[in-house]
Amino acid sequence: LGILYVVATPIGNIEDISARAIRLLKEVDLIFAEDTRHSQRLMQHYAIDTQMMSLHEHNEVARIEQIAGFLQQGKHIALISDAGTPLISDPGFKLVREIRKQGFRISPVPGASAIITALSVAGLATDSFSFWGFLPAKSSGRKQVFSDVSQNRETLVFYESSHRILDCLKDLSEIMGSRELVIARELTKTFETILTGTASSLAKRLEQDLDQQKGEFVLMVSGSDDKPTEMDSNTQTLMAALLDELP
């Protein structure tokens, strides 16, 4: 039986790919790529001439049966996305779930992901964090997400697109105005920038320098450090009395 390799590719700097990933991309029978034209640059750079086929959000379900068929025939297959680790805000989840269910072997070939790359330089707590993917496009949706997570203790990580980053900071300043934020932009690329501040100070910074609104962003927000609300002595007495009444 064939193996399905889930292969991470660079998030910017073309050299950020493992030796094993390059070897496997050369050795497999077929590469399924989110956008075959986009991935052509990587293939050319590393002289990989394996046949590529597309697997994107619109054809993923249809591809599953075909890929299961290839694996059944003993063909080895690689899955890649445009950048970083497949399945992380990228296609592949339905495929991996179904292929695992059918009992085929799936092997990860790890490498870059913007989440971990951003956290590694942010200087925010990394002992626990949560990832929320792309924020909603509408302001009301974003504010809802921010309110829902505003009491969370762990560092919050979001992906945001360049044309919404400023509006997003404004929404964030309304809901979590006093938090420390880190914006990681264009990681591993020429205009890599890592900015720290509050939502309003960073919004000002981006308004003053339009270049800072361009490119790809990871937004990280420090967790809530509110102390758990302690009960005053009256409340404690009342609680104790009520607890005594419970059956």
Q: Residues in the site for ligand SAM, rule: CB under 6 A?
A: 11-12, 81, 83-85, 88-90, 113-115, 159-161, 184-189, 216-218
Cβ-closest residue to ligand SAM?
Answer: 84
Sheet of strand 105-109: strand arrangement = 52-54, 30-33, 77-80, 3-7, 105-109
What span, in angstroms and rounded, lies between the C-alpha atoms of 233 and 231? 6
State the nearest-atom distance from the C-beta of 182 to ligand SAM, in Å.
12
Sequence-separated contacts (24+) of 36-43 with Cβ below 8 Å: 38/82, 39/9, 39/80, 39/82, 41/14, 42/9, 42/10, 42/14, 42/17
Q: How far is the CB of 215 from ligand SAM (least distance, A)?
A: 7
Q: Least distance (Å) from ligand SAM to the CB of residue 194? A: 10
74 vs 133 by CB, closer to ligand SAM: 133
Q: Which is nearer to ligand SAM, 160 or 171 (CB)?
A: 160
Intra-chain end-to-end CA distance of the chain, in Å: 60
Q: Which of 60/216 has CB closer to ligand SAM?
A: 216
**Shortest Cβ distance from residue 218 to ligand SAM (Å)?**
5
Nearer to ligand SAM, 60 or 186 (CB): 186
